[in-house]
Amino acid sequence: MDIADWRKKIDEVDRRLVELLSERARAAVEIGRLKRDTSLPIYEPDRERIVFENVRGMNRGPLPGQDLVRIFERIMDVMRNIQKEGIVAKTENATAQTELDSEVND
């Protein structure tokens, strides 16, 4: 394969990564809703440790394990922010409702 072929391969892998990250984000949103409804904290260090252990255990290279963990640290940071934004948005919506809101007066 030449460089153009490798770049096409990378573009396809990137497309799949975007799909998978979006799927992960949808799951994080749902978990955030469950956390909000059950008053669980967004940040769960024990769960993050488990994820990092899983990632290291699945890694077959060529990325060094620590580099892969750093990537997942960033992914999880973004997912936590998604969960926080969902909780804040829901809280703001709840406090903004009045008797004039259509959702309240069905």
What are the extents of the domains in the chain? Answer: 3-84
pLDDT of 70 reads: 97
Structural tokens at position 90: 């829901």
Q: What CATH number belongs to 3-84?
A: 1.20.59.10
Residue 103 has pLDDT above 80, yes or no: no
Residue 86 scores a pLDDT above 80: no
User: 90 falls in which pLDDT band (50, 70, 90)?
Assistant: low
Question: What is the full DSSP assignment across 65-76?
Answer: HHHHHHHHHHHH
- pLDDT at position 5, please? 97
Give tens-digit pLDDT for 8-37: 999 999 999 999 999 999 999 999 999 999
Q: 41-63 pLDDT, tens per residue? A: 999 999 999 999 999 999 999 99
Model pTM score: 0.75
Please give the mean pLDDT across all residues of the chain.
87
CB-CB contact of 69 with 52 (8 Å)? yes
